[in-house]
Amino acid sequence: MFRADRKLVHERVTFERFCTAAGLEIVPGTFQQAVPPAPDLTVEIAGSGGVAFELLRINDDDQLMRLSLMQQTPRLLENEFAALDAATHAAFCNKYSDALITVGFKSTATLAERRRALPFVWQTLLDLPGGYAGIVDLYWLKPPPVIDVISVGRWNTGGRPRFRTQTLGFVLPLRIERITEKLRSKYACTEPLELLAYVDNGELAHVDDREDIVRVVTEGLPGSQFRRVWVFEGLLNRVALSLP
């Protein structure tokens, strides 16, 4: 799927989730997506008629990259584990048949960097005493710089090791200035125009997020082409704000 196609699919899915959370009913057959200078989509909402929506993702780009890496890493661990030579794989399965293994990476480490660090992970785990459980002391082992944590929990894992990952780092502030930029933009449409600002797979995590959004919308909405600004939290699947 081309990048542009993925963007269209993602925006449609996000919009449909938003409508469900907001209690807005899309009239079947009325959903249309467009390209600039038109807004992202037009749709007929039951009881409201035709409405145009511009969509805006307000996550910090670095935060999205970290999230994407975190979501891709479990599959990387599984694939690299499956690719171990037969003897190593058998020894690992025998030693960790009831283990949930957590590998924590630096938040900005690329998939390639994570892959290159995995031989250290496998060997470190194989060198541990039988039945080991807990956080591995990495201080004297000089791990690759992308590795933060290796830990072993003992659970009923179906007779084979299971893997999970964590990516350490702070939640970055939302890019609220992008709302101001959108409110200053002009769009080619005849329908009433609304802005859907959304946090992709996230939420308003910082104390000032809500107040800052209300402030920039209060300042920018009156002179804009928009009649309303919505804020949708993708992680919680809820509408956080509807302004005014």
pLDDT of the residue at 2: 61
Closest listed residue to residue 18, CA positions, set 180, 240, 243: 240
Q: What are phi and psi of 88, to 5 degrees?
A: -65, -45
Please tell me the pTM assigned to this model: 0.69
Q: What are phi and psi of 151, to 5 degrees?
A: -140, 155
Tokens 């928009």 — which residue? 226
pLDDT of the residue at 168: 56
pLDDT of the residue at 194: 98
Given phi > 0 = left and psi -120 to 50 = alpha, else beta, which region is 55? Answer: beta
Tokens 């209300």 — which residue? 214
DSSP 23-54: TPPBPTT--EE--TTS-SEEEEETTTEEEEEE
Provide the edge-to-edge strand list for the sheet that holds 147-154. Answer: 134-135, 147-154, 99-106, 162-168
Kindly give the confidence (pLDDT) of every residue in the chain, 244 residues in length, as a single tens digit, with 9 standing for 90 and above. 566 788 899 999 999 999 999 999 999 999 999 999 999 999 999 999 999 999 999 998 877 777 778 778 889 999 999 999 999 999 999 999 999 999 999 877 889 999 999 999 999 999 999 999 999 999 999 999 999 999 999 999 999 999 998 765 566 789 999 999 999 999 999 999 999 999 998 889 888 899 999 999 999 999 999 999 999 999 899 999 999 9
Would you give the distance in Å from CA 173 to the centre of its chain?
Answer: 14
